[in-house]
Chains A and B, each alone.
Chain A
Amino acid sequence: MAEPTGQTAFKRRRRIRRTVHFGEPLPPGAHTFRAAWLCGPALVWVTMFMLVPLLFVVALSFAQRGDAGEIVWRFTWENYERLFGHGSLGFDPVQPLILARSLGVGFATAGLCLLIGLPVAFFIASLPRRWKSVALTLVVIPFWTNLLIRTYAWQLLLSPEGWLADILTTAGMIPAGTALYPGWPAVMVAMVCDYLPFMILPLYASVEKLDWLLAEAAADLGASPGRMFWHAVVPQIRPGMIAGGVLVFLPATGQFVIPDLLGGAKLALLGNAVQQQFGSSRDWPFGSAIAVVALLVMVAGLWLHTRVTNGRREVSLP
């Protein structure tokens, strides 16, 4: 090819070590330098006020409590031993029971939310486009209102003079004047009511992506509705089920307000135990040990959640 000649050769051929960022050539390191200035303040903040305090908690959980409730910095496993039932008079079931109860409440809440949330998710997915966003907003509004107020509202609803008690009394199921709280039923009702939105949102997201051809193919092949649901639908929405389950389980396990207001002293969960140790009992080291256990439960839940969502742990914010 005959090109117009007379062009000078390019000076010297050297390696180019710059990177381009939106049209701007940056020398090596400048990119990271800028990222540090942009992300640094917030990340330092979260590290300083979240990670460091948590490290303190972990450290404190290995310390001892002095006679006057002060902290004695001497290493010990005692707090954890107590947590798992090691009492001064042999096995003491109080603390292990709290742990077991918390996990039980967490699982039960997640299970109930799943049962109730599934039909709702399917219903929302079946709505026309306009109504979908309306329905989702309706689901989300209670979630963003004060949990304390909603829990207190259940006290009103479940009180002896409340409507529910009236109905049950009239039906002859409970004697007149009985309060429906404190107790297990009240705690569970409030838990499910509070965390249902956490379940419905991820469930809805995966129902929305559902491939119905698979389900129809299964129906064509003669599968009963139940089998079709189990074999063709459930595997497809499993990520949503697990994500929702984790999102419900984690806060439910660590709940403090609901058991405090509706459960009474006998139904303490991890959260109440922590509050008690940091509050009236003034045993911060032991309270820290309980907090560490709650943290471990969270880490396990998050690990599961990350695996399900393939590492894209974007919280589906309402």
Chain B
Amino acid sequence: MQPADPKSNSALAVECQHLTRRFGKIEALAGVSLNVRRGEFFSLLGPSGCGKTTLLRIIAGLDLPDSGGLRIGGIESLRLPAWKRPVNTVFQSYALFPHLSVSENIAFGLRMKRLSAIEITRRTTSVMELTQIMPLAARHPNELSGGQKQRVALARAIVNEPQVLLLDEPLGALDLKLRKELQLELHHLQQRLEMTFVHVTHDQDEAMTMSDRVAVMNAGRVEQLGTPEEIYERPKTRFVAEFIGECNLFEGKFISRDGSRLEADSPLGRLRIDLPSTAIELAEQGKLLLGIRPERISLVGGHAGDNRVLGRIEEITFNGAESRYRINLGKVGLRVTELNTGRRDVGLFVGDSVEVALAPGNIFLLEG
């Protein structure tokens, strides 16, 4: 073991510094730097093959980067073998030991630490109660359902009280209903244990509902890192805007700037855009990529100071809680989603002309 680092009780649970990893010609990680704070639920979100699982395996010690640095709890960890790292993993395939019973599976990590039999029984039992798998204790993995296996895999990892729990698509193999149920449970569990969770998923819903912060990854890079709100409300790149939620994207041309207020020419006409301070340097370029979420567009009314454009309703899809509209604005179409609050007196029909309002603060500017 390395000597205790003075910063070992630092606020950061995991620090990744410019990690790169190649598999032959494929660049799985192209220089990833990110920090995970102690006690947070951190998600790595991205399509398959974006490098998120590779990153997780490097943190677990099951793979090594070609270059870069890694600290876990402030301690340099790349040289530590997997079994000496204070992390545990919930594998996507669960990887339960087929020849051991559920309780033996859960006790495995504690046995490897040579804890006393009494201590092992105590902790195994309390974890099985926590994850509600007490009745399954004597069964073997092949006698469990998918959801039960998932709970056992989770219990087997958290019983070791790791500094960081790594979850590799833990809910990926389950059906939708069970997934929703376990999402909530996982979230509560994390808050109760105050353990750092690093969670890998390709499911944006899962990442958004459970996480404190999300790193959106694409092609071996972190595209954006932030809270779910930040990522949704202020996507930084085209990839993030399109990967998370629905988005109207259109090109624009820079005209003028006054403080954080930007004017741009676009297929929708001249638009006023309010920018947060971080994006302003981008705005000086000639060509701009603009976006707005469908539910941030109002069809009737809006506020003073909104950009207003005239259009015609081309299609309406009624979806119970909400209605989706496709609006033709001449050169471009816009998707608009509106909650059916029942507050509008007159219904809208296909062919109606509407005045679309886009608030300057709701339009965002994207890189590439």
Whether A and B are associated in the same complex: the answer reads: yes
Chain A interface residues (CB < 8 Å from chain B): 1, 3-4, 7-8, 10-11, 13-16, 18-20, 22-25
Across the interface, which residues of B come within 8 angstroms of A10, CB to CB? 17, 69, 71, 76
Indicate if the CB atoms of A19 and B64 lie closer than 8 Å. Answer: yes
How far does the alpha carbon of A174 sit from the alpha carbon of B302 in the complex, in Å?
Answer: 108
A4-B61 contact in complex given A10-B69, A16-B78, A23-B83, C-beta closer than 8 Å: no
Q: Which of A4, A10, A11 has the most CB of B within 10 A?
A: A10
Indicate if the CB atoms of A7 and B225 lie closer than 8 Å. Answer: no
B2-46 interface code vs A (CB 8 A; 1 in, 0 out) = 000001001110010110000000000000000101000000000
A-B contact pairs, 18 of them (CB 8 A): A1-B226, A4-B11, A4-B35, A4-B37, A8-B7, A10-B17, A10-B69, A11-B76, A13-B17, A16-B64, A19-B64, A20-B61, A20-B62, A20-B63, A23-B81, A24-B81, A25-B79, A25-B81
Q: Is B68 an interface residue (CB 8 A)?
A: yes
How far does the alpha carbon of A18 sit from the alpha carbon of B225 in the complex, in Å?
Answer: 30
Across the interface, which residues of A come within 8 angstroms of B323, CB to CB? none
A7-B62 contact in complex given A15-B67, A24-B82, C-beta closer than 8 Å: no
Consensus secondary structure, chain A interface: loop
Across the interface, which residues of B come within 8 angstroms of A4, CB to CB? 10-12, 35, 37
How far does the alpha carbon of A16 sit from the alpha carbon of B10 in the complex, in Å?
Answer: 26
Indicate if the CB atoms of A23 and B82 lie closer than 8 Å. Answer: yes
Q: What 7 pairs between A and B have smallest CB-CB spacing? A: A23-B82, A10-B69, A10-B17, A4-B11, A24-B81, A20-B64, A23-B61
Pick the contact of A25: B17, B64, B67, B76 (CB < 8 A): B64
Within 8 A of A (CB), among B325-343: none
How far does the alpha carbon of A3 sit from the alpha carbon of B226 in the complex, in Å?
Answer: 11
Across the interface, which residues of A come within 8 angstroms of B291, CB to CB? none
Across the interface, which residues of B come within 8 angstroms of A18, CB to CB? 64
Pick the contact of B15: A1, A7, A22, A25 (CB < 8 A): A7
Q: Is B65 an interface residue (CB 8 A)?
A: yes
How far does the alpha carbon of A1 sit from the alpha carbon of B213 in the complex, in Å?
Answer: 11
Across the interface, which residues of A come within 8 angstroms of B83, CB to CB? 23
Pick the contact of B67: A1, A11, A16, A24 (CB < 8 A): A16
Q: Is B66 an interface residue (CB 8 A)?
A: yes
Pick the contact of A13: B62, B68, B71 (CB < 8 A): B68
Chain B interface residues (CB < 8 Å from chain A): 7, 10-12, 15, 17-18, 35, 37, 60-69, 71, 76, 78-79, 81-83, 225-226
How far does the alpha carbon of A102 sit from the alpha carbon of B222 in the complex, in Å?
Answer: 67
Q: Shortest beta-carbon distance, A12 to chain B, in Å? A: 9
Task: Write the chain A residue with the least CB distance to B69.
Answer: A10
How far does the alpha carbon of A62 sit from the alpha carbon of B252 in the complex, in Å?
Answer: 85
Across the interface, which residues of B come within 8 angstroms of A1, CB to CB? 225-226
Q: Shortest beta-carbon distance, B204 to chain A, in Å? A: 19
Q: Which of B10, B81, B83 has the most CB of A within 10 A?
A: B81
How far does the alpha carbon of A19 sit from the alpha carbon of B15 in the complex, in Å?
Answer: 21
Q: Which of A14, A20, A24 has the most CB of B within 10 A?
A: A20
Across the interface, which residues of A come within 8 angstroms of B225, CB to CB? 1
How far does the alpha carbon of A25 sit from the alpha carbon of B35 in the complex, in Å?
Answer: 23
Across the interface, which residues of B come within 8 angstroms of A20, CB to CB? 61-64, 82
Indicate if the CB atoms of B69 and A7 lie closer than 8 Å. Answer: no
A7-B7 contact in complex given A13-B18, A23-B81, A25-B81, C-beta closer than 8 Å: yes
Indicate if the CB atoms of A13 and B7 lie closer than 8 Å. Answer: no
Across the interface, which residues of A come within 8 angstroms of B12, CB to CB? 3-4, 7
Across the interface, which residues of A come within 8 angstroms of B71, CB to CB? 10
Across the interface, which residues of A come within 8 angstroms of B15, CB to CB? 7
Q: Shortest beta-carbon distance, A221 to chain B, in Å? A: 39
How far does the alpha carbon of A8 sit from the alpha carbon of B81 in the complex, in Å?
Answer: 23
How far does the alpha carbon of A26 sit from the alpha carbon of B83 in the complex, in Å?
Answer: 14
Q: Shortest beta-carbon distance, A31 to chain B, in Å? A: 12
Q: Shortest beta-carbon distance, B23 to chain A, in Å? A: 12
How far does the alpha carbon of A4 sit from the alpha carbon of B74 in the complex, in Å?
Answer: 13
How far does the alpha carbon of A23 sit from the alpha carbon of B166 in the complex, in Å?
Answer: 15
Indicate if the CB atoms of B10 and A7 lie closer than 8 Å. Answer: yes
Task: Write the chain B residue with the least CB distance to A24.
Answer: B81
Indicate if the CB atoms of A15 and B66 lie closer than 8 Å. Answer: yes
How far does the alpha carbon of A24 sit from the alpha carbon of B69 in the complex, in Å?
Answer: 17
Task: Write the chain A residue with the least CB distance to B85.
Answer: A23
Beyond the given A15-B66, A19-B64, A23-B60, could you list 10 further A-B residue pairs with CB under 8 A, ordered by the A residue number? A1-B226, A4-B10, A4-B11, A7-B7, A10-B71, A10-B76, A14-B67, A16-B78, A23-B62, A23-B81
